[in-house]
Amino acid sequence: MSARKLAWAMVVVVMAVTRGAAFEVNSPDSQARSMTANELPRCQLFDAFRDLAVSPLFSQDNTLFVGAFDLELNHALLLKSMNGGLSWNRVLSETEPITDIAFSLNYRNDQTICAASYTTLACSTDRGQYWSNLPRPQVGVSLAALAIADANIWFLALGGGPPYWYPDQGLFQTTNSGVTWKRVYQGGVDDVALSPNYREDHTILIGIGGYHWNGGILKSTDGGRTWQPSREGLEWGSDGVTNNITFSPGYAEDQTVFCLSWQALYKSMDSGAHWARLAKELVDYPVPPPFGSIGGFVVSPRYQGDQTLWLWGDHEGRAVSTDGGVTWRPLPHPVNPVAAGEYCPTGGHCGVELFGVGWEGEHNYVYKSFDGGTTWHCLESVMAPPTPTPSPEIPEGSTLLLLGSGLAGLAGYGWQKRRAFSK
């Protein structure tokens, strides 16, 4: 769900009603216009758009959450849409920017979602309708990342500063829904991610903060009691700037994990034992440096079948891969892919809805695409998604070959996890 702990650039936009409990974002212009090959539609503007989170049950509940910041009220907002972005309700207001939004791995049953800011933690156990502020550890550097195993077991990563300056930072765990916390790792932590099969394998990966020689990623297979290094192959990862850790939706079968290390994209096919850099050929330098400029990546929620990934970066551009990262195709429009969800028309095959953010001068828009980013529509536009064609099955041997040759991506579970949007 890098925990969103980086210095995020905010995208300024105007909401229809910023003080109301609910508001519509439909505009006649955005509904009437369709995009040609050379232009993007002019959509409704969003105010201080920071993050988009897609419900794990998007194919059923059509629910999105948006983290935003009201510049007039100087308040952070969490907005919820139950119709795919046509209209929104304000469900949470905070005095500080929301740094992470996380869904429970058991969201279907426990309906738990939490949002963290620099100093607060708010959670809901009814899919985001009602929220409660909960106690949480406070440290000197408090950029926060969240990972939720179920209704009771949560992990909160706090820190990112040098460990010798902020000894109270670390990874904290609660086993009683936030009533009490205990530290399971001491030191700066930039990110935390849980295996989709945490209930069985108890696997946690954390990105170590603080720019120190033995940083990178640490792995635990006993729920945080012990930790082992997981950084072989991260070129500069030992310096600690490693985040946006995401498990493949099919981790139980493919043992695949992704991360950004110094803004370069890496993938492991052996549960984090070894890492290989991906998409290096996209960098627009004659000799790509050991660091990158990737701002975010998205793994298709149907990755096991469609092998599709998206990324965007200042020097990598915007690109899509449909073969697990072996080859890349530039996307034709200046829209950053930031999240994806699965949709399933009645009686038809399931497809992927991609979400993106774009700019035109000082204006900022949120888009959706049903063809992998080739064409974009305003998020608020009223339109039925097309009926997808079935994805071809990939034989097991070919799958292993594709995975072995490299790929790129991040975001997992159908939504882009913590990352700043920038031009």
Using alpha carbons only, how large is the chain's radius of gyration in Å? 20
d(CA 111, CA 173): 19
Give percent above pLDDT 90 in the chain.
50
d(CA 295, CA 297): 7
Residue 337 pLDDT level (bands cut at 50, 70, 90): very high
Which pLDDT score, from 0 to 100, does residue 240 have? 58
Residue 307 pLDDT level (bands cut at 50, 70, 90): confident
Residues 127/371/385/88 CA torsion (nearest 10 deg): 40
Which pLDDT score, from 0 to 100, does residue 153 have? 97
* DSSP state, residue 104: B
Residue 415 tokens read as: 């939504």
Give the pLDDT confidence of 215-252 residue by residue, as tens digits. Answer: 689 999 999 999 999 989 988 766 657 889 999 999 99
pLDDT at 402 over 70: no
Q: Cα 164 vs. chain centroid, distance in angstroms? A: 30
Which pLDDT score, from 0 to 100, does residue 304 have? 87
Among 3.40.1280.10, 3.40.50.300, 2.130.10.10, 3.40.640.10, what is the CATH number of 22-404? 2.130.10.10
**Strand spans (E) along 86-160:** 87-94, 98-103, 113-117, 121-124, 132-134, 144-148, 154-158
Which pLDDT score, from 0 to 100, does residue 48 have? 62
d(CA 123, CA 102): 9
Residue 418 pLDDT level (bands cut at 50, 70, 90): very low
pLDDT at 78 over 70: yes
- pTM here is 0.83
Which pLDDT score, from 0 to 100, does residue 211 have? 56
> Of 13, 110, 31, whose CA–CA distance to 68 is shortest?
13
Which pLDDT score, from 0 to 100, does residue 314 have? 93
Which pLDDT score, from 0 to 100, does residue 215 have? 67
Identify whether the C-beta of residue 302 lies closer than 8 Å to the C-beta of residue 58: no
Task: Provide CB contacts within 8 A for 67, sequence distance 6+.
Answer: 50, 51, 52, 53, 76, 77, 78, 79, 97, 98, 101, 115
Residue, of 120 and 166, whose pLDDT is higher = 120
Residue 27 pLDDT level (bands cut at 50, 70, 90): very low
Q: What is the mean pLDDT of residues 201-214?
A: 79
Which pLDDT score, from 0 to 100, does residue 347 have? 74
**First and final C-alpha spacing in the chain:** 22
d(CA 159, CA 165): 11
Three-class secondary structure of residue 404 per DSSP:
helix
